Amino acid sequence: MSSPALPSHPVWTPSHEQIADATLTRFQERVRATQGLEFADYEDLWNWSVTDLEGFWSSVWDFFGLDEESGYDQVLADDAMPGARWFPGAELNFARFLLGRGDPDATAIIYIAESGDRTEVTWAELREQVLALAAELGAAGVGVGDVVAGYLPNIAEAVVAFLGTVAIGAVWSSVGQDYAAQAVVDRFGQLEPRVLIAADGYRFNGQLHSRVAAVDEIVAQLPSVTEVIVIDNVGDQGNVAEVRDSRPSVKWRRWNEAMAAEGLGFFVSVPFDHPLWVLFSSGTTGRPKGLVHGHGGVLIEKVKQTGLHWDLRADDRLFWYTSPSWMMWNTQVSSLLCGGSIVCYDGSPTYLGSSCLWQIAADLDVTFLGVSPGYLQSCANDGVRPAEQFDLHRLRAMGSTGSPLAAHLQVWARDHVGDLPLWSMSGGTDLASALVGGVPTLPVWAGKISARCLGAAVDAWDEQGNAVEGGVGELVIRRPLPSMPIKLWNDHEGAKYRDAYFDGYPGVWRQGDWVTIDDNGAVVIHGRSDSTLNRNGIRMGSSDIYAVVESMPEVVEALVIGAEQSDGTYWMPLFVVLEPDWHLDASVRNHIKSEIREKLSPRHVPDEIFAVPALPHTRTGKKIEVPIKRILQGAEVDEVISSDAVDDASLLDFFHGLAASRRAVSAIS
Where do the structural domains in the chain lie, given as residue ranges? 530-668
In this model, does residue 535 exceed pLDDT 80? no
Question: Cβ contacts of residue 41 below 8 Å, gap of 6+?
Answer: none
Quote the CA–CA distance of 432 and 164 in Å, as a whole number: 20
Instruction: Select the highest-mean-pLDDT range: 169-178, 397-406, 613-622.
Output: 169-178
In this model, does residue 451 exceed pLDDT 80? yes
Q: Are strands 275-280 and 227-231 parallel, antiparallel or unpaired?
A: unpaired
pLDDT in tens, 38-65: 999 999 999 999 999 999 999 999 999 9
What's the predicted TM-score (pTM) here?
0.86
Rounded to 5°, the CA angle 346-350-353 comes to 135
Q: Are strands 207-210 and 201-204 parallel, antiparallel or unpaired?
A: antiparallel
**pLDDT bucket at 565, cuts 50 / 70 / 90:** confident
Question: Cβ contacts of residue 371 below 8 Å, gap of 6+?
Answer: 320, 321, 349, 357, 398, 399, 400
pLDDT in tens, 370-395: 998 889 988 998 999 999 999 999 99
Neighbour order of strands in the sheet with 608-611: 555-560, 573-578, 608-611
Quote the CA–CA distance of 421 and 397 in Å, as a whole number: 5
In this model, does residue 286 exceed pLDDT 60? no
Q: What percent of the chain has pLDDT over 90?
A: 77
DSSP string, 473-529: EEEEE-S--TTS-SEETT-TTSHHHHHHHSSSBTTBEEEEEEEEE-TTS-EEEEEEG
Superfamily of domain 530-668: ANL, C-terminal domain (3.30.300.30)
Quote the CA–CA distance of 588 and 578 in Å, as a whole number: 10
Give yes or no for a contact between 175 and 184, defined as CB atoms under 8 angstroms apart: yes
Q: What percent of the chain has pLDDT over 70?
A: 95
In this model, does residue 7 exceed pLDDT 90? no
What is the arithmetic mean of pLDDT over 510-527?
91
3-state percent helix, strand, coil for the chain, nearest multiple of 5:
35, 25, 40
What letter represents residue 649's amino acid?
A
Q: At what angle do helices 407-416 and 373-381 cross, to 10 degrees?
A: 60
**pLDDT bucket at 240, cuts 50 / 70 / 90:** low
Position 8 scores a pLDDT of 66
For residue 178, count CB atoms less than 10 angstroms from its CB and return exposed for 0-12, middle for 13-18, buried for 19 or more. Answer: middle
Position 137 scores a pLDDT of 97
Position 68 scores a pLDDT of 86
Quote the CA–CA distance of 84 and 484 in Å, as a whole number: 9
Q: Residue 552: which of 516, 522, 588, 586 has the closest Cα?
A: 588
R_g over Cα of the chain: 25
Position 244 scores a pLDDT of 62
Question: Cβ contacts of residue 642 below 8 Å, gap of 6+?
Answer: 183, 186, 283, 284, 286, 287, 288
Give yes or no for a contact between 556 and 578, defined as CB atoms under 8 angstroms apart: yes
> Which backbone phi and psi does 652 adopt, to 5 degrees?
-75, -20
What is the arithmetic mean of pLDDT over 360-365?
98
Give yes or no for a contact between 319 and 349, defined as CB atoms under 8 angstroms apart: no
In this model, does residue 419 exceed pLDDT 90? yes
Whole-number average pLDDT of the chain: 92
Position 602 scores a pLDDT of 81
Rounded to 5°, the CA angle 553-557-559 comes to 130
pLDDT in tens, 590-612: 999 999 988 887 888 999 999 99
CB atoms within 10 A of CB 158: 26
pLDDT in tens, 266-282: 999 999 999 999 999 87
Position 2 scores a pLDDT of 36
pLDDT in tens, 84-96: 999 999 999 999 9
Position 1 scores a pLDDT of 29
Position 639 scores a pLDDT of 80
